A = this chain, B = another copy of it.
Amino acid sequence: MKKNTPTVLGYALLGLLHQEPSSGYDLRKIFELTPMAHFSGSPGAIYPALRRLEQQSLILGSVDRTHALRPRQIFRPTTAGKKIFRTWLACKLQRSDVVWNIDELKLRFAFHNFLNKNAATRDFLLSFATEVSSYAKDLQQQLRAFPPGAPINGRLALESGIEVYKAHGRWARKALAHFVD
């Protein structure tokens, strides 16, 4: 049972290559210099990830010989790569995503301009806000069910989660305003 879809890092690379065809080194620099770094840009991760994408025919490398002695391999997404990327961007957001992969959701949002459809981004932000708020409520429920005698740390840690999720929700609702047609 193989999981033939890219990892989050794979999608991040795909998205960057969608913006501009680049070499592995170019990509590493982007990861170093931007908050993208959260998705990990060590060479031991990027190069194998690129190779995987290439093997799945989602990207294609071409050798640039402008400097004969130092060839660079420039990767660009294939048609299949563009398609799978768009599918990832637009695919329905699950409740489990906000619980487990909220960073991936933020990455998806950051690349959402490729869809060029405000309606899609609106949908995305709306489900995001909905799921996030609903999860925050769940956490609040858990907080109320907290054993009264327990040390306060656990309670506060839980409150922290609630506050953070609320912040995500507020952000999403504010961001929505930017995607009215």
A residues within 8 Å of B by Cβ?
Answer: 35, 38, 100, 106-107, 109-113, 121, 139, 142, 151-154, 156-161, 163-164, 166-168, 170-172, 175, 178
- B153 in contact with A112 (CB, 8 Å): yes
| Cα A163 to Cα B167 with chains together (Å) | 6
25 A-B pairs in the complex with CB atoms less than 8 angstroms apart: A35-B139, A35-B157, A35-B158, A35-B161, A38-B100, A106-B160, A107-B157, A109-B156, A109-B157, A109-B160, A111-B153, A112-B153, A113-B151, A121-B153, A152-B178, A156-B171, A156-B175, A156-B178, A159-B171, A160-B168, A160-B171, A160-B172, A163-B171, A164-B171, A166-B167
